[in-house]
Chain A
Amino acid sequence: MSEGIRVADVDEIDEGEALTVDAETAGTSDDIAVFHSDNGNFYALNDTCTHEDASLADGWIEGDEVECPIHSARFCLRTGEALCLPALINTKAHRVDVRDGAVWLYPNESPLNA
């Protein structure tokens, strides 16, 4: 992929918050949530929880995990691994870069640090 999608300025997503990039813009089947974790890092996963229809961007973001706002299924922000019930199916992680004060998303590319 080329240079990716410019999601936002770094300071536009507070730590512990997330933005979504809609599927049409990302060219993916699901919206993508771009997370700014309290560890300072940015991550991206498919936005829809694999258990039930909920937006992970609305979830609880801490360290390298996000917890679904509805039933508290946890996913690894680095790899997309479903870490506990009620989710059973892993989700997809996408590559995110921080460059020139902005957050860049590379849909369908594997994260470099996974």
Chain B
Amino acid sequence: MVLAAPASIAVVGGGVAGFSAVRELRRRGYAGALTLVDPAGLPYDRPPLSKAFLAGSLDRLRLQLAPEQWYEDNGITVLADTVDKLDAGNGTEAPVLALASGRDLAADVVLLATGARARRLPLPGMDLPGVFTLRSADDALALQGHLASGAHLVILGAGLVGAEVAGTARGLGAGVTLVDPAELPFAQAVGPAMAGYLQSLHAAHGTEYGRGAAAGITSDGNVLRVELADGSRLSGTAVLVAAGSEPETALAEAAGLAVDAGLLVDASGRTSHPRIFAAGDSSRRLGPDGAPGRRFEHWDAARRTGEAAAAGMLGAEPPAGTADWFWSDRYGVHLEVAGSMAVPGQTVLRGEPGSGFMVFRLDLNGALAGAAAVDGGTAVRAARKLIESGRILDPVLLQDPAVDLRRLARAKP
């Protein structure tokens, strides 16, 4: 069923996916009614929440993806409201969103860009004052007051959020203890060589690292105590639980849409319902074979799937897929990663751990599957191109810092 030009579109969620979708709809010339609903109101960007915004060097206004005027100029209605219920209908009539304010919003087509929430650990003490998770601007503001000099933050989980907040907190003068069940956190995502280098940054910047899983949190006046599964104890003035995220799929599930650890969508972002699309962290794309793929939680994936859904809602072909790409900043170091570093094959190192260090993963055929770089400029962009090309590459060329990856990527095979 193709709805070539829906008269109205409603987008639920004002993250990068929802914002990119409304922007792309207008960019493609869509002239119908366009409404975006998010409890926080105007869409804002999340990567700075663990970095510049948390550090207080970026204000709330600059966190916005676009100024208020932009929505006026583009004829986009933003409702600061919560969607309590989605009545999807049988496909012939317009779905209806029941809003917390009491209003019903009907739209020919609905895009669910509901994102994800911070995963809570099933621990005693998760709700104690001084125990935080980080997902929204309000979360960041709440945590911010606990990062001054003299504070000591215990972070449970050394993934992107945990490691970045460790860097920010150290920069503000707080002490940090970082705890993770993994011996080498992040090894799956960036490969062991790059994970080892990133891990060494913690010690180099005075962040204590401990391997372990939390078993419970107790409060003793101004001090929080974290007990680990092995019986050892840590204490701090605040605890951040950075244990990953879970997709927000409650609305979709209640509406009867197909959900399997994420809202299942095709390449155009279409769900199991013809008038409902999904994009971003809450969505999971079905492969050409019909099997659900990985649920990506990165900024670039949210942007791309938002844009693809915009095309899909207009009955247009979605743009061609690109290699997954993400970045992270901690302790003044800029990391970029493209593709997959975990496929069977061979690892190739380029340069020494430090600025300019790069790690490549070649698959069993010798084609590039993944690349990770520290302060690599456009090297990872070139690697994305090489990954997308599927070309067989000579490891000797990849490991030579004198070989310009941009030229290699542009060379005709």
Question: Which chain A residues have a beta carbon within 8 Å of chain B's beta carbons?
Answer: 15-16, 38, 58-60, 62, 67, 69, 72, 83-86, 88
Contacts and interface: CB of A to CB of B under 8 A. Distances in A.
A85 B381 contact: no
Given A84-B303, A85-B23, A60 B410 contact: no
B16 interface: yes
Contact of B381 (A15, A72, A86, A88): A72
Contacts of B66: 88
Given A16-B406, A84-B307, A88-B66, A60 B378 contact: yes
B132 interface: no
Nearest to A88: B66
| Chain A interface SS verdict (over half) | loop
A33 B37 CA distance: 39
Nearest to B70: A88
Contact of A85 (B65, B325, B407): B65
A85 B303 contact: yes
Given A15-B410, A84-B307, A59 B378 contact: yes
B268 interface: no
A38 B303 CA distance: 25
B20 interface: yes
A110 B191 CA distance: 47
24 contacts: A15-B410, A16-B406, A38-B410, A58-B377, A59-B378, A60-B382, A60-B385, A60-B406, A62-B385, A69-B377, A69-B381, A72-B300, A72-B325, A83-B27, A84-B20, A84-B303, A85-B16, A85-B19, A85-B20, A85-B23, A85-B65, A85-B303, A86-B65, A88-B65
B42 to A, nearest CB: 13
Given A15-B410, A83-B27, A86-B45, 10 more contacts: A16-B406, A16-B407, A58-B378, A60-B378, A67-B381, A84-B303, A85-B16, A85-B20, A88-B66, A88-B70
Nearest to B19: A85
Interface of B: 16, 19-20, 23-24, 27, 45, 65-66, 70, 300, 303, 307, 325, 377-378, 381-382, 385, 406-407, 410
A44 to B, nearest CB: 20
The 5 lowest CB-CB distance pairs between A and B, nearest first, are A60-B381, A16-B410, A69-B378, A88-B66, A85-B303
Nearest to B306: A85
A85 B385 CA distance: 20
Contacts of A60: 378, 381-382, 385, 406
Contacts of A72: 300, 325, 381
Contacts of B377: 58, 69
A69 B66 CA distance: 21
Contacts of B16: 85
A67 B336 CA distance: 15
A50 B100 CA distance: 37
Nearest to B307: A84
A83 B20 CA distance: 10
Contacts of B378: 58-60, 69
A67 B70 CA distance: 23
A85 B378 CA distance: 18
A69 B406 CA distance: 12
A15 B406 CA distance: 11
A1 B369 CA distance: 50
A56 to B, nearest CB: 11
Contacts of A85: 16, 19-20, 23, 65, 303
Contacts of B381: 60, 67, 69, 72
Nearest to A83: B27
Contacts of B27: 83
A58 B379 CA distance: 11
